[in-house]
Structure 1
Amino acid sequence: MASSSTSGTPAMPPQNADLATTWAYLEEGVDHIMTKLQTGVSYSKYMSLYTVSYNYCTSSKMHGAGEVGSGLSHRTGANLMGSDLYNNLIRYFVTHLKALRTQSDVLQDEALLRYYAGEWDRYTTGANYINRLFTYLNRHWVKRERDEGRKAVYPVYTLALVQWKSNFFLHVQSKHQKLAGAILRLIERQRNGETIDQGLVKKVVDSFVSLGLDESDINKVSYEVYKEHFEVPFLEATEKYYRQESDAFLQENSVADYLKKAEERLREEEDRVERYLNTNTRKGLIAKCEAVLIREHAQLMWDNFQSLLDYDKDEDLQRMYALLARIPEGLEPLRKRFEEHVKKAGTSAVEKLVGQDGAAADALDSKAYVDALLEVHQKNSETVTRSFRGEAGFVASLDKACREFVNRNAATGSSTTKSPDCWRSMQMLCCGRTTRCRGRDLEGALNKVMVLFKYIDDKDVFQTFYTTKLSKRLIHGVSASDEAEASMISKLKEALAFEYTNKLQRMFTDMSLSKDLTDQFKERMQQNHDDMDINFSIMVLGTNFWPLSPPTNDFIIPADILPTYDRFSKYYQQKHSGRKLTWLWNYSKNELRTNYLNQKYILMTSSWQMAVLLQYNNNDTLSLDELVTATAISKELLRQVLAVLVKAKVLINEETDQYDLNPSFKSKKIRINLNTPIKAEQKAESTDVLKIVDEDRKYVIQATIVRIMKARKTMKNQPLIQEVISQISQRFAPKIPDIKKAIDHLLEKEYIERVEGTRDTATQKWLEFYRLHGYADRTSLSIPACSAPALRCHWLLSHHDDTHLRLGLIAPGLIWIGQTQV
């Protein structure tokens, strides 16, 4: 044994000192580090301890083999040197921890936690220094032992943690989870609103993580101790606490208040994880809180959702959405309720305009109708964006509900064409001259129309009505602007496809070409020195693009416009040989000037009215039969024409079927519009449009079927029907019976045929014959492509001053349809 120094501190043993001498010196230093580190350790002292440890481990001489009492005593040589020190370290840690354990037995709750945290800090800090003292032992002896399969041997720092767990931690925990219980009670106090030492909780919780040991890889973090001794009881306590609190809170407060409380509690638990729990606890903790705070009370939230919608409680709706979005299927009941809410709102808005039984549907103001639908959509769309964060499921519910009440409400009834019929007036408000919208306002109005357009089941009906009204706006020059019309067509193109809007774009092209044709004709007449009694303009419109139909009744061209008619017919035939021009009297406009009155008036008339009034240049009174003979207009139509003139007091009807020119006619206006729509024509227009749509749909369905068969070659009936519906539904909702009729028609015409031996499987046939009829590779057709192309012409004639006539022709309107001769 080496002698001690004068200060009472053992002197540094020589290099060949025995185990007892060596350990006595090392033990004094280890104990100082573990218990009195705060007083400091000199550098020379620390290096002396390191050197003694190194010298002993590298000594080849065996010392005190009989004194080794561990299971490693059978090792020899240098191996034995390491085991001696390792076993002595174990005995020291056990003795040291027993003393700590005794002191902890009398402590409770926060006092216990503070003692535990303080000793843990002192112990782990000391263990770190000691681990470095025995670096050589770790690097060589411990490594070799573990490499040889002895996994119960650990580096010195890990050994210290293992001993802490076995000799101190488990002892404290074994007494009714004394340590974890103290933490849980502290956390409960914080949940109750008290302020706690969160740093203290974090130190203790972190120690649970540090004590985890993965035997297969000691460098890998293990959460076994943390989960078993803290996380499991913590989650159980959390579930119990929040279940009691939520039940008690709901008994005394509203659901809206509970939403705030639940939101606050979830936020607190998220913060708790960040402050002093391990991040791996987040998933389990939040899931437990969601189950107790949300899932267990989800039905109550669903039941109160309608009330929040009715009273526009946006903040509460946002909270409810955010909470229920956390649990599986939490939002689906809300989506269904929201869909029903929107349907009810849309239906109620229309009922306010027309009544529940739809009694006022015929007198419905179309602008008010559209505004009502838009208001419902806009309000609920804002709710989806603001309260439900634009979630796709709620957007789908909104779209589904809007599609339902837009197409089926008190105004439309069971009709699928009522809505488009109402909205054509809205189109006039958007694009007609009467609109007050300009610039951004007009663009906004068009955007609103398109919002509803996407919900229409039968977009083809809407489009056909729109095309019809557009044609009349262009012919009569009542569009707000070309930019507005072009913008609307562009929006339709985006919603549908190019082939559906191509006709609309061609209408504008025809208007430009018509202006050029008028100028060319006038120039030719001037070159020929042909006296033009009447000035006029011409519109040449392609029949494939303009939804205009010639009149069904006969008509005798008045002598006043015959010269102009003949000149233009001759010019046009020379320019376009093989085309036949047919007049569209029902779309023309004319102007007549009165010469038989002191005050000269300008009468704006239709062709029928012009033909009737020109007869009074040579007659004072005419009977109905005489007018029929002079104009060739049918009696039924002529009676309606005369009724307008009589109502305006231009003619007098004092005897049955006898009409006199009114010599005392007076009006406050100089320009008098007599060209008002006839009811029969309005009804015929709607009927004709619907007939066109029905006919178009037949060809669209047939074309779609054969296009599908061309790609698939062979298909069963049911998949074929579903594919047809899928492809066409963007434009209109095809009915299954119509699809089946189309299939039967194509089978009958041998465009497709049944697969032999089957009753429900078809295959393509005669594709070339089908292609000849213009269906192949076309998305939609209204008439076979081989039908003769046609051309429509509209002229407006102006100013011819015949002062000797009672009614001078100023602007007779002529509309021609020309078809290529076949």
Structure 2
Amino acid sequence: MPSQQPRSSILSTAGGPSISSSSSPKRRDLSPSPSSDPKRVRSEYTFSSSTMAMSAKMQGKRPVGAPDIIDLTGSSSFHTTMSINNNIALHPHLGPKRLVVKNLKPVRSSGVDNYYSRTTAELDNALTAIFQGRPTAQPMVSLYRGVEDLCTRGKAEAQELADRVRQRLEKWLQSDDMMGMLIAEASAGGVREGGEEEVRFLTRVIDKWKQWSEKILTVRQVFSYLDRSYLLAHRPGTKDQHGQKLEGLNDMGITLFRRVIFGRGKGDASAPVGNAVLRGVCRLITMGRENMEFDSGLLRDAIAVLKLFQGYTRFFEPRFLQESHQYFEEYARLWASSLKLSDYIRGVKRLLDREEHNCNFYNHDSTTKRQLLEDARRVLIKNYSEKLLHSGDVANLLDQNDVDSIGGLYQLLTLSDLQKELKGPWEEYIRTTGTAIVTDKTRGDDMVKRLLLLRRALDVMIRDALHQDEVFVYALRESFGQFINDKKATSAWNTGTSKVGEMIAKHIDMLLRGGLKTLPPSLLSDVKDRANAEASGLAATADEDAELDRQLDAALELFRFIEGKDIFEAFYKKDLARRLLLGRSASQDAERSMISKLKSECGSNFTHNLEQMFKDMSLARDEMVSYKEWLQATNRKTGRIDLSVTVLSQGAWPNFPEANISLPKEVWEQHSVFELYYKTKHTGRLLTWKHNQAHAIIRARFNKETKELLVSASQAAVLMLFNTAENGILTYAQILYSTQLPGPEIDRTLQSLACGKVKVLTKHPKGKEIKETDTFSVNGAFTDQRFRIKINTIQLKETKEENQQTHVKVASDRQFETQAAIVRIMKSRKVLGHAQLVAEVINQTKARGAVDPADIKANIEKLIEKDYLDREDGNYVYQA
């Protein structure tokens, strides 16, 4: 170490007897000041005025008032200091005294030069030890201080040190055996393309880079002062005196290693090592896509290294995107030749999810991710949109109720902004399937159930697969309206009116009679429906009444699509009459709720008669209470018959067909008594008995037990005949003569009693068909677990004749409504052309039922014949 610079001390007194010493060295004791010139060493202490120097020259005598001069080099310096101290303490008025130090020895410059030379050599040895993986001879702290001393000596020394470090790094990379082997192997074509050699070569390059990074880290720790004070202190792009760009040690290490991999030129993508590295990275990506085992950590490290070497954007990204494009095209070609649509949807969705995950996991650039996914969507979705939207394939998925596949298809189309293109196959499937249901005459009774199942499946598809897209909700409604009101459906049933309207009315009748047990489980609400209902503030659909209400709403949704609502009204009124008269409603609350829904949907005119029917039932109950009181007041006896009569308003109720029936004598007597009571109470009213709508409860005694049979009036009339039958046997002709029922009616009645589930009569001979040669007897061995038994199911079924009569009556009423609409329009407009008149008539009558323009023209001709209208100059004129 260089000799230590001598120190000097200044002792001063200021108002006190104590002595203080101060020194102000600018560097630590172990090294000279790098900022000073070693040839010029000056004292860092101040002396008194010039008179003191002049006095020192003059005969060695001290001037008056001059400070005392003390030779610290002598042996008596300590005693002299103490003497001065005592003098100051005894004479404080003399003021502070100064000590002047002399005989300072200058530092020799040769010692400083040796220090810097030795420090440089130690740093070179340290670099060699770091490259060879050995511990350094000097402590890291000493090496760091040596770098600091060299840098603070001057800018030239710092530049020289930086050049030396760069040269040593370059030399080590050039002389490294492993690096040389990698370069030689890549240059000689030893890395076979498409083989495992690419991955192994990439592994060795990444391992070599990790080793290099560790060594650079150690170098940075030693030369940290150089890095911070010189290399990083300049702006990026600054060059030194040799034309080299000034870089930090970390960037320097990256640059040197990058040159080995990709060469010096910016466009030198054909460097053998870099080319092999790129092929290795792409090989790893291919292995991942083909579900082969590979080192994902190696791929992640390789992409990070490519980014670090600035080779990601220039070299890797174009190659990666090109190979990915080829992979996507190959996958699409494979599907076009062998895969089903559902398999392709799942495969593409899985592929896109995997590619997006890999871009995130392996830290691809956002631009790479965007370009990759856009290209995948273009190749896999947009270029194959015709196959994805093939009506037949989409229809198969909808038939199979494949929610996952439809949802995946919708998501794929959304990625390419093609989701609205799915509307076409969606509408075509609904129209085709719906038309097949409404024209299927073999399964007419299940028409509405099948339509509701279709609607339910499509609603679930919209909810779970199509994300409640309003485009598909609107398309669903439009398609249902089209096939329900299609003329093909009407012509298939030869009714002239909407068959769908009739079947919807019958479906609602089934719900109101039998409740939820008449529905298949697939129509009932699921967990999501219940959650949505509760979230919207409705009652939980798990409750039976709430679920029944939801099913009525579903049927009402179909009702809204019908243009001819008059046919629904006619059949609904007939079914409601049967439910009210026979007491077959499962819930009075549900009945009134349905009337309220219809009133809200169609207006009060539509439900006026329906509401009057409920009022009549209430008045009839009050009437029977009054009748019982009249019987008690007049002391009239009813015998074993308890008669209950329901008086109805003829205009509000449907027209029931007439049915002649010869009732038992006991029943006729009670009829006469009630007519007497009613005529006494109400004058000017005429009672018309509708026995075909009546029912009775008969107590029957069999061999083993007694039962109560709930039967219709015709069934009761037949059963009562066996009380007076000889030997308990009656022929077909005897029953026909005694009851006076028409042939078809007596056949249905006997079939329900002898051939149904409840066989209270025995038919001879056995069989399901009723013949005129058959004989009947009471089934004495009849038994059943129930006490009261209903056996009038067959009797309640509507006959084909009644059904056809209802359609004919509705069509006839529609013609009268059309004529009334024509008259109203012409009365207000006076003169109108044919096209305008037809358009206004259709607009006014569409709520009740769709009218064909040909029918409108025929009704116009009828009104002209009746002198309501006339023709003048091609227009119709109203005749007052």
Q: TM-score, normalised by structure 1?
A: 0.54
User: Residues 269-668 of structure 1 correspond to what in structure 2 (within 5 A)?
Assistant: 269-270=355-356, 272-273=358-359, 276=362, 278=364, 280=366, 281-303=368-390, 305=393, 308-309=396-397, 312=400, 314=402, 317=405, 321=409, 324-325=412-413, 327-353=415-441, 366-374=444-452, 376-377=454-455, 397-408=475-486, 410-413=488-491, 417-432=498-513, 437=518, 450-456=553-559, 457-458=561-562, 460-461=565-566, 464-465=569-570, 468-469=573-574, 471-473=576-578, 475-482=580-587, 485-486=590-591, 489=594, 492=597, 496=601, 510=615, 513-514=618-619, 517-518=622-623, 521=626, 525=630, 529=633, 547-548=652-653, 563-569=676-682, 585=688, 604=713, 647=742
In the alignment, structure 1 residue 175 sits paired with structure 2 residue 274: no
Distance 1:183 1:332, change over 3 A: same
| Structure with max Cα Rg | 2
Q: CA deviation at 1:235?
A: 0.5
Distance 1:165 1:566, change over 3 A: same
Partner of 2:184, secondary structure, is coil
Q: CA deviation at 1:49?
A: 2.5
Q: Match of 1:125, as an amino acid? A: E
Q: CA deviation at 1:234?
A: 0.5
Distance 1:262 1:437, change over 3 A: closer
**Cα distance in 2 between the residues matched to 1:427 and 1:674:** 16
Distance 1:584 1:31, change over 3 A: farther
**Cα distance in 2 between the residues matched to 1:206 and 1:453:** 63
Q: CA deviation at 1:194?
A: 5.7
Q: Match of 1:343, as an amino acid? A: R
Question: After superposition, what is the alpha-carbon deviation per residue over 1:744-779, rounded to whole angstroms, capped at 9, x for unaligned?
Answer: xxxxxxxxxxxxxxxxxxxxxxxxxxxxxxxxxxxx
Q: CA deviation at 1:282?
A: 3.6
Of structures 1 and 2, the one with the larger relative CO (CA 8 A, separation 6+) is 1
For the Cα contact (< 8 Å) 2:695–2:713, is it kept in 1? yes
Among 324, 345, 367, the alignment partner of 1:238 is: 324
For the Cα contact (< 8 Å) 1:242–1:289, is it kept in 2? yes
Distance 1:332 1:305, change over 3 A: farther
Partner of 2:304: 206
Distance 1:299 1:422, change over 3 A: closer
Q: Match of 2:207, as an amino acid? A: G
Partner of 2:185, secondary structure, is coil
Among 134, 140, 144, the alignment partner of 1:50 is: 144
Partner of 1:125: 214
Q: Match of 1:408, as an amino acid? A: D
Among 229, 254, 261, the alignment partner of 1:161 is: 254
Partner of 2:509, secondary structure, is helix
For the Cα contact (< 8 Å) 1:435–1:480, is it kept in 2? no
Partner of 1:105, secondary structure, is helix
Instruction: Specify every segment of 5 or more residues in structure 2 that has no aligned partner in the other structure, as ranges.
Output: 4-29, 35-111, 192-197, 525-543, 659-670, 697-710, 715-738, 747-773, 779-790, 826-838, 854-880
**Cα distance in 2 between the residues matched to 1:438 and 1:196:** 56
**Cα distance in 2 between the residues matched to 1:686 and 1:736:** 15
Partner of 2:483, secondary structure, is helix
**Cα distance in 2 between the residues matched to 1:310 and 1:413:** 28
Identity of aligned residues (%): 14
For the Cα contact (< 8 Å) 2:300–2:362, is it kept in 1? yes
**Cα distance in 2 between the residues matched to 1:310 and 1:348:** 15
Q: CA deviation at 1:420?
A: 1.0
**Cα distance in 2 between the residues matched to 1:102 and 1:675:** 98
Question: After superposition, what is the alpha-carbon deviation per residue over 1:527-547, rounded to whole angstroms, capped at 9, x for unaligned?
Answer: 9x456788876879999xx94
User: Residues 731-742 of structure 1 correspond to what in structure 2 (within 5 A)?
Assistant: none
In the alignment, structure 1 residue 686 sits paired with structure 2 residue 810: yes
Partner of 2:830: none
Q: CA deviation at 1:205?
A: 1.1
Q: Match of 1:124, as an amino acid? A: S
**Cα distance in 2 between the residues matched to 1:592 and 1:467:** 21
Q: CA deviation at 1:238?
A: 1.5
Q: CA deviation at 1:454?
A: 1.6
Q: CA deviation at 1:118?
A: 2.0
Distance 1:567 1:46, change over 3 A: farther
Q: Match of 1:455, as an amino acid? A: L
For the Cα contact (< 8 Å) 1:198–1:275, is it kept in 2? no
**Cα distance in 2 between the residues matched to 1:451 and 1:245:** 44
- Number of residue equivalences: 588
Among 198, 203, 208, the alignment partner of 1:114 is: 203
Question: After superposition, what is the alpha-carbon deviation per residue over 1:185-213, rounded to whole angstroms, capped at 9, x for unaligned?
Answer: 4544665676544433322211122345x
Question: After superposition, what is the alpha-carbon deviation per residue over 1:306-360, rounded to whole angstroms, capped at 9, x for unaligned?
Answer: 6845995959956972784364255555442243233223323444427xxxxxx
For the Cα contact (< 8 Å) 1:604–1:674, is it kept in 2? no
**Cα distance in 2 between the residues matched to 1:519 and 1:689:** 35
User: Residues 694-773 of structure 1 correspond to what in structure 2 (within 5 A)?
Assistant: none
Question: After superposition, what is the alpha-carbon deviation per residue over 1:84-117, rounded to whole angstroms, capped at 9, x for unaligned?
Answer: 6555545554545555676543233435423431
Partner of 2:384, secondary structure, is helix
For the Cα contact (< 8 Å) 2:381–2:412, is it kept in 1? yes
**Cα distance in 1 between the residues matched to 2:622 and 2:489:** 45
**Cα distance in 1 between the residues matched to 2:475 and 2:520:** 33
For the Cα contact (< 8 Å) 2:329–2:380, is it kept in 1? yes
User: Residues 207-222 of structure 1 correspond to what in structure 2 (within 5 A)?
Assistant: 207-211=305-309
Q: CA deviation at 1:230?
A: 1.4
Distance 1:489 1:30, change over 3 A: farther
Q: CA deviation at 1:296?
A: 2.9
Q: Match of 1:127, as an amino acid? A: I
**Cα distance in 2 between the residues matched to 1:321 and 1:675:** 47
Q: Match of 2:562, as an amino acid? A: D
Q: Match of 2:558, as an amino acid? A: Y
For the Cα contact (< 8 Å) 2:300–2:363, is it kept in 1? yes
**Cα distance in 2 between the residues matched to 1:550 and 1:584:** 14
Q: Match of 1:482, as an amino acid? A: S
Instruction: Specify every segment of 5 or more residues in structure 1 that has no aligned partner in the other structure, as ranges.
Output: 4-11, 69-80, 213-224, 355-364, 571-580, 594-601, 606-643, 652-665, 702-720, 738-822
Distance 1:480 1:207, change over 3 A: same
**Cα distance in 1 between the residues matched to 2:481 and 2:469:** 18
**Cα distance in 1 between the residues matched to 2:404 and 2:798:** 56
Q: Which moved more, 1:510-519 or 1:431-440?
A: 431-440
Q: CA deviation at 1:514?
A: 3.3
Distance 1:348 1:603, change over 3 A: closer
